[in-house]
Structure 1
Amino acid sequence: MAKMLESWIYQEPSSIYTKALYGLTLLGACYLAISEAIGKHLRYSKFWNSASNKPTQTLPSKVGMLLAYTPSLLAGVSSFWVFSDDGGIRFLMLKSAITLHFLKRELEVLFLHKFSGHMVLNTALFISSTYLTSAASMIYIQHRVQGFPEPWVDLKYVGLLVFVVGTVGNFYHHYLLSKLRDTSNKGYTIPRGGLFSLVVCPHYLFEILSFIGISFISQTLFSYLCAIGSAAVLLARSYATRNWYLSKFEDFPKNVKALIPYVF
């Protein structure tokens, strides 16, 4: 088993920081996934006002999402300057993938998504700090493994392909969602087109593929943990989203799954 892991994962210097980071990443992902599954949602999108009636400080959804993504984008951009002397195509691919991922999110917030409602400030700050910690730590750990032997199985080009497929698929289904609303209609309707005939959250499915692609490019333990944690949270949120649609629309097709076609 150890030999199999060595073939897929970088050997890396052990430190208290990385051990603590790995443990907190796993605990945080488990907490978020369980919270979403039991109905204690992060308060944005259709779930922004679902938690409680207690007064909370909110932001317009567009402002909240920009706050969530901008620090991670800046971390990706700055990595080209901070680690400019680090050579190697893998590190360049990782920095580029992380930067492009959050640049795409920013551009979608600015020019594609149509928002209704608000976003709780604490939620925006939590998402922002989580993404920033993950992006910055992934880049830093990749810097730390420079000079160590690469994994026997090289997945970086497979990862690039998976990342591109995930990014394009995520954008396409975000585009379809944006077409459901015009300037006079800011309510929710049943999504149509693309993989929406099979799953209610194909944009999450492709987002998971993007994270898997990044983890294959990196091939560090932390990148794999980030991909697994993100998948667990999005799986739970997809399940909650499907239940929300079932509760709101009597004609919602029961054969449409949450995230994985024909399976879940």
Structure 2
Amino acid sequence: MEVIVAVWFVLSVCFFLALCVHSFAAKFNRFSQSQIYNLFQDLVRYGKTKTNLQRPAFLHAFDVPKRWFIHFYTVSVIWNGLLMGFLLQAVLLGQHFPEWLTVLIRTFNGGYMQLRNGDQLSALLVQMLLWLHSLRRLVECMFISVFSDGVIHVVQYFFGLSYYILLGLTVLCTSFPIEYKGFSIEELFAQIQWNHLVGIMIFIWASIHQHMCHVILANLRKGDSGKVVNLGHSIPRGDWFELVSCPHYFAELLIYISFSVTFSGCKLTWWLVVLYVLFNQGLAAFLCHEFYFKKFKSYPKKRKAFIPFVL
């Protein structure tokens, strides 16, 4: 098994188990009162879902501001922009990747891979979409989102930084050429398949809704003038919030599904990435869903947590 496949498999299993542990503990109060469980909750919760968590004083030393989320997207824009540049040079000009990057990719994917026809365009599109996604999220964090005094665990912080570095490498690991050959624009256009168009459409659709959801959340803390008037929490309404508590997490899942579809759905590694996002965002969504129901007695009972009409 390639290292990159093993990494995403382990991450998927870990967050699946975390989701199971949380669901199990919710039904057994004795377990939920244990110190080990409190440590577990401290690791998986962040932001508003962490505000009422009873924690030993020493655990507060591991808190960092949730607004540091912006660092994730800053790193992603720089790193994945760099990888996109290398990939463009490799595909269009036939230039080799830098030696350090070649060694890194071969370490993760176990060697060179022969690309099927169309993989060059798929790799370029996914790398570009990933970069655009990171850029949009960076802009939203800078100019739209209104962060409270919520915190995240320092482990979550460093994991988040590593995550976007790993994502970019995953694109290259699933599309690393056995030989370098420059492709003309016409040759790349000739590779266009239905999956590229469908993947881009899903990406745009999900990105638009995710942006709308972030605007709705930010506006809950702003007055009519557009200025921030409070840092509290209110019941979000509008768009996909009428269906689920965390539609921005659902949109995130759709965005990663769009990457896999763009790769024609035949890359095991990317389906493992999708599986990881499903469990990771699912856990975060369930925690938020519980928070809303505990805080607001009038919270819409028909809303699901994560996936419309399902979960």
Q: TM-score, normalised by structure 1?
A: 0.82
Q: Which runs of 5+ in 2 are unaligned?
A: 23-40, 93-119, 181-190, 223-227
Quick one: structure 1 residues 202 and 100, their matched pair in 2 at CA, closer, same or farther if it must change by over 3 Å?
same
Residue 187 in 1 paired to residue 223 in 2? no
Structure 1 segment 1-264 matched on structure 2, within 5 A: 19-36=2-19, 38-39=21-22, 40=41, 42-49=44-51, 50=53, 52-53=55-56, 54-62=59-67, 64-83=68-87, 84-87=89-92, 88-117=120-149, 118-144=151-177, 154-182=194-222, 183-219=228-264, 220-264=267-311
Residue aligning to 1:8: none
Equivalent position SS for 1:256: coil
Higher-Rg member (1/2): 2
Q: Secondary structure at the match of 2:229?
A: coil
Distance of 1:167 and 1:146 partners within structure 2: 35
Q: How much has 1:37 moved relative to structure 2?
A: 5.3
Query: Cα distance, 1:252 vs. partner?
Result: 1.0
Contact 1:142 1:218 (C-alpha < 8 Å) held by counterparts: no
Shift of 1:145: 7.4
CA distance in 1, matches of 2:54, 2:171: 32
Match of residue 6 from structure 1: none
Alignment correspondent of 2:185: none
> How many percent identity over aligned positions?
23
C-alpha distance in structure 2 between counterparts of 1:42 and 1:160, whole Å: 32
Aligned-pair CA distance for 1:209: 0.8
- Secondary structure, counterpart of 1:59 in structure 2: strand
What amino acid does structure 1 have at the position aligned with 2:250? Answer: L
Distance 2:49 2:263 in 1: 33
Deviation at 1:48, TM superposition (A): 4.1
How many residues are treated as equivalent by the alignment?
Answer: 242
Gaps of 5+ in 1: 1-15
Change (3 A) 1:107 1:23: same
In the aligned structure 2, how far is the partner of 1:192 from the partner of 1:145?
51
Are the aligned partners of 1:48 and 1:120 in contact in 2 as well (CA < 8 Å)?
A: no
**RMSD, matched Cα:** 2.3
